Copies of this chain bind each other. A is one copy, B any other.
Amino acid sequence: MTDTDRTPPATEPTDHTGMRVLTLQDCLARLGSAPVGRVAFVLDGEIAVLPVNHTLDGLDICFRTAGGSKIQAAVDGDRVSFQVDGFDPARRWGWSVLLHGTAGIVDDDQQVARLVSISRPPWVAMDASSTRWVRISTREVTGRETFGS
Give A residues with C-beta under 8 Å from B.
3, 6, 16-19, 35-36, 38, 40-42, 45-51, 66-68, 79-81, 83, 85, 87, 89, 92-94, 96, 98, 100, 123-126, 140, 146, 148-149
> Which of B36, B46, B83 contacts A87, CB < 8 Å?
B36
Known A6-B125, A16-B68, A35-B89; contact A49-B40, beta-carbon cutoff 8 A = yes
Known: A125-B18, A126-B17, A146-B123. A38 touches B46 (CB 8 A): no
11 of the cross-chain contacts (CB-CB < 8 Å) are A16-B68, A17-B66, A18-B124, A18-B125, A38-B96, A40-B47, A46-B140, A48-B98, A51-B85, A93-B123, A123-B146
Q: Which residues of chain B are near A96, meaning CB under 8 Å?
A: 38, 50-51
With a 10 A CB-CB cut-off, give which of A6, A125, A140, A146 has the most chain B CB atoms: A125
Distance (Å) between the CB of A122 and the closest chain B CB? 8
